[in-house]
């Protein structure tokens, strides 16, 4: 994403035959990778495809080449960097204890790790761009930019946002709710360092909204 921001001005003004295919692929990629998330059985693969979906928004915003688009792209890159990192950290805490990433096998972990379940809920809501996190600001900038560029894009971005909410809730419910398997009833407890790690991911996401110019002021 940062490379696109640096290279795009060199191509400005964009010839139409260069801009349209990249934008169409980026918007189509949002729908395709979000849909792939809905059928994933591997937890790490689900999180990875989620990142690809969000980067489709970033690519589309950068290619439009407006101040709002560049601001939204930079904001969402930083926000999703923290969110995706936190999700991978959570997936690793599960894997260290259950030794599997298959969603069907790790159900009901809320009973074993109630505090970790709270982190799962908060970070999945952040992945859905829940206010007051910085993710919401980035997505609003990008969706507004694309809508201003072409009105029909609101349909694609709207569907993408809906699917993102769906697979984020699916990930939370599949890992935390339900009855826990009998082989996982005696799991080692979570550590303070793991909770501190997740706090240090969530705090910036919540506090940066108070002064978003720290990460988005370059283009405004």
Per residue in 121-143, pLDDT tens? 999 999 998 888 899 999 999 99
Query: Could you tell me which residues are beta bridge partners of residue 42?
Result: 102
CA distance 12 to 3: 15
Average pLDDT over residues 191-208: 91
* Omega within 30 of 0 (cis) for the link into 75: no
Quote the tokens at residue 184: 């996982």
* Geometric angle at alpha carbon 154, from 56 and 12, rounded to 5°: 55
Digit-coded pLDDT (tens) for 27-59: 999 999 999 998 888 999 999 999 999 999 999
| 97 pLDDT above the threshold of 90 | no
Which residue's structure tokens are 């259950």? 98
What long-range pairs does 1-4 form, CB within 8 A, spacing at least 24?
1/55, 1/58, 1/59, 1/62, 1/73, 1/74, 1/77, 2/77, 4/58, 4/59, 4/62, 4/63
Q: What is the pLDDT of residue 196?
A: 95
Backbone angles phi, psi at 172, to 5 degrees: -65, -45
The three-state secondary structure class of 202 is helix
What is the residue-averaged pLDDT of the chain? Answer: 87
Q: What is the pLDDT of residue 220?
A: 45
The dihedral through the CA atoms of 219, 138, 69, 16 has a sign that is positive
| 13 pLDDT above the threshold of 70 | no
- Which pLDDT band holds residue 72 (cuts at 50, 70, 90)? very high
Average pLDDT over residues 95-106: 85
Percent of the chain with pLDDT over 90: 50
Higher pLDDT, 53 or 18: 53
Higher pLDDT, 108 or 78: 78
Digit-coded pLDDT (tens) for 132-187: 889 999 999 999 999 998 899 999 999 999 999 999 999 999 888 877 777 776 78
The three-state secondary structure class of 18 is helix
Average pLDDT over residues 6-35: 80
């Amino acid at each position: 994403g940062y490379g696109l921001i640096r290279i795009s001005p060199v191509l400005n003004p964009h010839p139409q035959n260069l801009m349209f295919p990249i934008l169409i692929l980026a918007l189509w990629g949002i729908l395709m990778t979000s849909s792939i998330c809905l059928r994933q059985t591997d937890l790490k693969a689900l999180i990875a495809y989620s990142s690809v979906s969000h980067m489709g928004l970033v690519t589309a915003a950068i290619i439009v080449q407006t101040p709002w688009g560049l601001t939204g792209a930079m904001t969402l890159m930083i926000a999703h960097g923290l969110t995706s990192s936190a999700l991978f950290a959570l997936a690793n805490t599960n894997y260290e204890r259950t030794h599997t990433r298959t969603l069907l096998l790790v159900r009901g972990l809320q009973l074993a790790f109630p505090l970790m379940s709270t982190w799962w809920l908060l970070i999945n809501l952040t992945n859905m761009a829940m206010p007051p996190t910085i993710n919401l600001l980035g997505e609003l900038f990008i969706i507004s930019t694309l809508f201003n560029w072409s009105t029909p894009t609101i349909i694609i971005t709207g569907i993408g946002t809906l699917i993102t909410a769906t697979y984020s809730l699916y990930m939370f419910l599949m890992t935390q709710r339900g009855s826990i398997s009998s082989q996982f009833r005696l799991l080692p407890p979570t550590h303070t360092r793991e909770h501190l790690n997740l706090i240090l991911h969530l705090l910036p996401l919540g506090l940066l909204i108070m002064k978003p110019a720290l990460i988005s002021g370059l283009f405004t």
